[in-house]
A = this chain, B = another copy of it.
Amino acid sequence: ITDVSTGGPYIDTNTQYLLSSAYLVFFMHCGFAMISIGCVRARFARHIAVLILIDACASALGFYLFGFAFAFGDKTDADGNVAGNPFIGSQYFALHGLDGPTYFATAVRPYAFWVFEWAFAATACTIVSGAIAERARVEAYAIYSFFMAAWVYPVIVHSVWSSAGWASMFRTAPNFLGYFAKGSGAIDFAGSGAVHMVGGYAAAAGCWIIGPRIGRFNADGTANDFAGHNSSLFVLGVMILWFGWYGFNPGSQLVLVGGTNSFAVSVCAVTTTLAPAAAGLSSLLTKAIVTHFTTGKHVYDVGVMGNGALAGLVAITSGTSTVYPWAALIIGGIAGSLYVFASWVSIKLKLDDPLDAIAVHGWNGTWGVLAVGFFASETLITNSYGLNQDGEVRPYGCFFPGGNGALLAAQIAYALWIAGWVLGNMIPFWLLLKYTGLLRATADEEALGLDSSHHGGSAYAGGMEDDKSHTNGAA
C-alpha cells in the first residue's frame, strides 16, 4: 500500500479489485483439489476430496470466529492510529464490529478484506492435506483445519501483515520488538512465509508424525513408487493454481487506486509469470539431467514440471512486488531445481508426502522469504510499500550496493519465527491426535482404500468399465 486516494468511488474500485483477487485465491482451492486427487491412488480420490472440501468449510468457520480477529483485530487509539499489541489481535470475533469504523476502512470495505484474508487462510490449511493423504482420518483433519485457521496461521499473519505486528512493514513503532528501526519489517508480500512456510512446516510435522503409507518404504530403506492415478487432473490443478496466483500475488497490494499501487500490482503480475516459467523449465531440465545420469535415459516428467512451476510461484510470493523481472527469473530458476532436490530429501528422510507439499511449500517458501533479502530493490520497495514512517528509504536487498544486510537479517529472523511457532504448535498437536488414536485410519482401512472404508465406495463407479462393454463389445 502506498498512497491511498480516499473517498467513495476509490473505495468501491479498491473493493472490487480486492474481491476479484479473493475469488481467484479461492479458486486455487479447486486447483489444490485437482492436484491432490491426481496425485493419490484411485481408491483414495474421494477421501482427499473430502479433506479439501473440509478445508474450505472449516477454515471459513475458524477464520470467522477467531482467525480474523487474532490476525487483524487491532485496536486504535483516540487519534485513529493502530494501538494493538505486537503479538495478536483482540477484536472482530465473529466479524463483530467489522461493519463499523476500522483502521483499514478508508481504503477498502472491511467485509471484502475478510473474504480476501479467509481465502488465504484456506490456502494455508489445505497445503497440509497432501502430506498426510491416504491415511489421515477425517475427524482429525477437521479438527486440524479449524485449529490452523483459527490459531496457528493468524498469529503469523498478525506478526507480518497487521499494522501492529512486531515484524510488519506497516508498523509505526519499532519492529522486531525494538531491535530494528521503524519500517524495516520483514517483507512477506503475499506469503511465501505466512502461507506457504506455515502450511509446509505443518505438513512436515504431520507427515513425520503420522508415518508413511503402508508399503511405501522397504526394510532396506528403498522406496516403492506409489504413482498418482491421474496426471491429467494434476496438470489441471497446476494450471488452476497458476491462474489463481494472479489473485494471490497482485491482490496482496490490497489497494489499487492512488500512488504507485497499480504499478506495484503490475510488477507482481510480471514476476508471477516469469518465476513459474523459469521454475517449470529448470525443474524439467534438472529432472531430465538427473535421470539421464542415474538411469541412462532422460525423463521429461510432467509431475516434476508441474510441481516445479508451483515451487517457482511459492518462491516468488514474498518478493513478487519488490524484485525486478530478471530477479524473478533467478528466484524461479533456483526454485525449480531446489524442488527436485527437496523432493529427493523427503524420500531419503522417509517422509512420505504424496503431494510433495514439504518440498514445494516448505522448502520453497523458505527460499522465497530469504530471496527477498538478496533481491528486493530499493525502488520497488518504495513503489510497493512507500517510504517508512519517517520518510526514509527502507532497507533493501544485499545484492545491490547499499543493501547492507538489514533486510536479510529481518527475513532470517522472520523465517525462524515461523519455523518455531509452527513446529512448536503443530508437533504437540499432531502428537496429541496420534496418541488419542484420532490421527490415522487402521491398516485394514488403508489397505482397502479409504474410499471404500469411509466414503461409501469408489470415486469411479464401474471403473470406466460399463461403457466399454457396450461400445467395444456386442450390444
User: Interface on A for B, CB 8 Å cutoff?
Assistant: 5, 8-13, 15-17, 19-20, 22-24, 26-27, 29-30, 33-34, 37, 41-43, 45-46, 49-50, 52-54, 56-58, 60-61, 64, 94-95, 99, 109-112, 114-115, 118, 138, 227-233, 235-236, 238-240, 242-243, 246-247, 250, 256-259, 261-263, 265-267, 269-270, 273-274, 276-278, 280-281, 284, 291, 299-303, 305-306, 309, 325-326, 329, 444, 447-449, 451-452, 454-468, 470-472, 475
Contact = CB atoms under 8 A, between A and B. Distances in A.
B24 A23 contact: yes
A70 B97 CA distance: 43
B257 A46 contact: no
Nearest to A19: B269
B30 A262 contact: no
Contacts of A94: 325-326
DSSP majority for the A interface? helix
Given A26-B243, A239-B29, A277 B56 contact: yes
Contacts of A111: 263, 266-267, 269-270
A262 B16 contact: yes
Contact of A447 (B242, B468, B475): B475
Given A299-B455, A458-B472, 5 more contacts: A8-B258, A13-B256, A22-B246, A37-B232, A57-B276
Contacts of A302: 46, 49-50, 53, 455, 459
B325 A9 contact: no
A262 B111 CA distance: 10
25 contacts: A9-B9, A12-B261, A16-B262, A20-B20, A26-B242, A33-B239, A34-B232, A41-B462, A43-B471, A45-B232, A50-B284, A50-B302, A53-B284, A53-B306, A57-B281, A57-B309, A64-B329, A94-B326, A95-B325, A109-B266, A115-B266, A232-B460, A303-B456, A451-B471, A458-B471
